[in-house]
Chain A
Amino acid sequence: MSDGVEPDIEIAPGAIAVEIPARPDFVSFVRVVVATAAELRPDIAPERIEDLKLAVSEAVTNAINAQDRVGTVDRIRVECEVADDEITVFIHDRGQGFDRADVPELPEPDHPDRLLHESGLGLHLMAMLADESEVSSDDDGTDVKLVVYSSNRRRSG
């Protein structure tokens, strides 16, 4: 962001959307946006906001990587929607998608092959840290939806 390239920001009641250049130095900016949106909901616990920041970070990093591979200059769109009982983040890229079946399963931690897996943890982290995570991907791009519930909703099931 030091080179004059700026993100586009749209703010509406209960919603923030940003479009960022597909560059790694914008990922931390998206984390700040998500944290800012999440803080509109006082009953989302701070550690859950941290979970969401990490899940979104993984999705945005994957999106940047996907667009980098096809060399498109399109921006990556991130939308945060804050509702009464949850916060939802959508991440959309126009890179080449992937087939979930091609993502290798992680070996058990005590298996010697576990150390061969220096990458591939991003999807796992998204699934583990968000209350809902959906990934839909095709040749035109990937859409990720991540949801974290408020503590009221989590308690009521």
Chain B
Amino acid sequence: MWSDTVPGVDIVVHTRVADPWSVLTVAGELDVVGAPELRQHVINVVRGGHHRLVLDLSGVAFIDSFGLGVLVGALKRVRLLDGDLRLVVTEPRVQRVLEVCDLDRVFTIHPDLETAVAGA
């Protein structure tokens, strides 16, 4: 699709391992431009054998249906591999959009990274 062809300069994703979790720290806008970039990062991390992901969305000020779609896709991807996905959400806007779409009942959401990587 066309949105996958946009050059990747709109979000910043840092990946690090907090065993057994792989943490992707995301900053930027998860819209039609930024969301496909995150999807590619998730695909790369999962292909690298990491199936337990934490997506830290603390630096995400805007998320739309494309961003939500990538989050749902990431959850589906890791569950197929018997993995898990946790979200860190601190921005009220992001929390509101998740709630409006009932996705707060689909995802495991943590208020900070420490609790997200605590326990397995």
Q: Which residues of A contact B (CB under 8 A)?
A: 24-25, 27-28, 31, 47, 50, 53-54, 57-58, 61, 64-65, 68, 106, 108-110, 114-115, 117-122, 124-125, 128-129
Contact = CB atoms under 8 A, between A and B. Distances in A.
Contact of B32 (A61, A106, A108, A118): A61
Given A27-B33, A118-B72, A54 B64 contact: yes
A28 B68 contact: no
A109 B106 contact: yes
B105 A24 contact: no
B100 A64 contact: no
A128 B100 contact: yes
B18 interface: no
B74 to A, nearest CB: 10
A122 B65 contact: yes
Contacts, number: 76
Given A28-B33, A109-B103, A128-B100, A58 B69 contact: no
Contacts of A108: 102
Given A117-B72, A118-B72, A121-B69, A27 B31 contact: yes
SS class, residues of chain A in contact with chain B:
helix
Contact of A115 (B62, B64, B72): B72
Contact of B66 (A61, A106, A109, A129): A61
A118 B102 contact: no
A47 B97 CA distance: 12
Contact of A68 (B2, B31, B96, B105): B2
A42 B12 CA distance: 33
B99 to A, nearest CB: 10
Contacts of B76: 115, 118
B2 A24 contact: yes
Interface in B77-120: 79, 92-93, 96-97, 100-103, 105-106
Contacts of B29: 28
B75 A115 contact: yes
Given A27-B31, A27-B33, 12 more contacts: A24-B3, A25-B6, A53-B62, A57-B31, A57-B62, A61-B32, A115-B75, A115-B106, A118-B76, A119-B66, A125-B97, A125-B100
5 contacts: A54-B64, A61-B66, A110-B105, A117-B72, A118-B76
